[in-house]
Amino acid sequence: MPGSRAHAGQLNAELERALLHALAHAWDTVNYQHFRNALRRPVLGLHDGGSRLGSWNLEDRSLSFSRDFVAGAPWTQVKEVLKHEMAHQYAHEALGATTEPPHGPTFQQVCAQHGFDATAAGQPPGGPGEESPILRRIAKLLALAESPNLHEAEVAMKQAQRLMLKHNVESAAAAAREGYSFRHVGVPKARRTAAEKALANLLERFFFVLPIWVPYFVVEQGKDSWILELCGTPSNLDVAAWVHDFLTQTAERLWKQHKRAHGIRSDADRRLFVLGVMRGFSLKLNSGVVETRQEGLVWKGDPQLSAYYHRRYPRRVSSAAASVHVNEAYLSGHRAGQEIVLSRPVTAETKDRGHLLTSGG
């Protein structure tokens, strides 16, 4: 998870201007995506003190953010607070709910309709709670997949994949009770590589989440970037976030091994190799899907997750897949990807030991 980056005292005049420009752009995006440009942009500003992360004032049409908060919090949290304050603005200016309490029924309705955080916490609801039974069972199977016996490891991974599919196929009602949330994984990227897009696609196809690349402003650099957001149930997000970090690390490790084995000094072919890894592992996972289809286990999607995803991002722009020049590095990565075995349990204990990268939003 992108952590705190700067302090308010480090915001010089140039960075503060860039930050306000980024906030204005984010405001324009939310106004277009969620409110069909029904709002007029307010006066955007920063205030000292962190007791109120954001504040909408109807009288002078101003929307202000805590300088400490925007300087130190991940940009994804800043945007969630922006949405919260824009819900206040929409309730007042578009719906005329000026006599209701600040968090009255009209405001709550706007937040629910658009997938906004009504608490203005700036992060997904809930936190690390008791691990679900299904997650514990999957974790045990992935622990068995650490076996040095390749056959045993492969069997354990396939059993874990089958269990995840069975749980999601049979538990639509349970998913609704668990609710849906979002999480940001990886680090902000100036450019999204083909390998990173392939990994996002893999998570969508096999791990029951919906991915989307969202804008991310890096405050200390004053630059725009992107970060991957996943939407799903908390338990599926736990698994998918771990898989994302596991594959990211594993692909880098495999590339270094490939370089040593072939006496390669340059990283010129690194991106193609990593892309091959992601596509090779995707092919391997797909073989497991074919087997489960023969058992009658077919994933047809989660309409309620799709509805949640659409509330958060009602107007999305898809990017076309770029053509890839296949060379020996790509083919080597593809072969290596087909040998990967998911082999780490998704538990708090393993995270505490530092086996996994930390993910979240």
**Which pLDDT tens digit goes with each residue over 271-297?**
999 999 999 999 988 887 777 776 666
3-state DSSP call for residue 66? Answer: strand
What average pLDDT score do residues 114-139 get? 68
Question: Which is more confidently placed, 349 or 141?
Answer: 141
CB 153 within 8 A of CB 343: yes
Residues 73 and 210 in one domain: no
What average pLDDT score do residues 2-19 get? 69
pLDDT of 347 higher than 50: no
Reported as a single tens digit per residue, the pLDDT across 103-121 is: 999 999 999 999 998 887 6
Residue 334 in tokens: 């593809």
pLDDT of 321 higher than 70: no
What average pLDDT score do residues 117-129 get? 65
Residues 155 and 288 in one domain: yes
What average pLDDT score do residues 290-308 get? 78
pLDDT of 354 reads: 29
pLDDT of 3 reads: 46
Residues 185 and 249 in one domain: yes
Asked whether residue 361 is assigned to any structural domain, the reply reads no
Residue 22 in tokens: 């980024």
Residues 208 and 309 in one domain: yes
pLDDT of 20 reads: 95
Give the percent of the chain with pLDDT over 90: 53
Q: Confidence class of residue 319 from pLDDT cuts 50, 70 and 90?
A: low
Question: Which is more confidently placed, 261 or 164?
Answer: 261
145 closest CA partner among 339, 345, 283: 345
Residues 223 and 105 in one domain: no
pLDDT of 1 reads: 46
Nearest-angstrom CA–CA distance, 114 and 229: 17
Q: Confidence class of residue 349 from pLDDT cuts 50, 70 and 90?
A: very low
pLDDT of 198 higher than 90: yes
Residues 348 and 203 in one domain: yes
Q: What is the pLDDT of the chain when averaged over all its residues? A: 83
Nearest-angstrom CA–CA distance, 168 and 179: 13
User: Which amino acid is present at 253?
Assistant: R
Q: Confidence class of residue 83 from pLDDT cuts 50, 70 and 90?
A: very high
Decide which of 86, 114, 142 is a domain's last residue.
114
80 closest CA partner among 41, 125, 38: 125
Question: Which is more confidently placed, 184 or 143?
Answer: 184
Asked whether residue 200 is assigned to any structural domain, the reply reads yes
What average pLDDT score do residues 68-84 get? 93
Domain count, the chain: 2
Residues 105 and 149 in one domain: no
Decide which of 49, 83, 114 is a domain's last residue.
114
Domain extent for 37: 8-114
pLDDT of 13 reads: 85
Give the percent of the chain with pLDDT over 70: 78
CB 41 within 8 A of CB 29: no
Q: Are strands 43-47 and 62-66 parallel, antiparallel or unpaired?
A: parallel
Residues 89 and 182 in one domain: no
Q: Residues 6 or more apart from 76 whose CB is under 8 A from it?
A: 2, 123, 184, 214, 216, 227, 229, 361
Phi and psi angles of residue 226, each rounded to the nearest 5 degrees, phi first: -135, 155
3-state DSSP call for residue 234? Answer: helix
361 closest CA partner among 76, 68, 144: 76
Residues 93 and 228 in one domain: no
Residues 97 and 138 in one domain: no
CB 50 within 8 A of CB 8: no
Report the CATH number that the domain containing residue 108 is assigned in CATH.
3.30.2010.10
Q: Supply angle C-alpha 32, 33, 34, rounded to 5.
A: 100
Residues 219 and 333 in one domain: yes
pLDDT of 173 higher than 70: no
Residues 147 and 56 in one domain: no
3-state DSSP call for residue 183? Answer: strand
Asked whether residue 296 is assigned to any structural domain, the reply reads yes
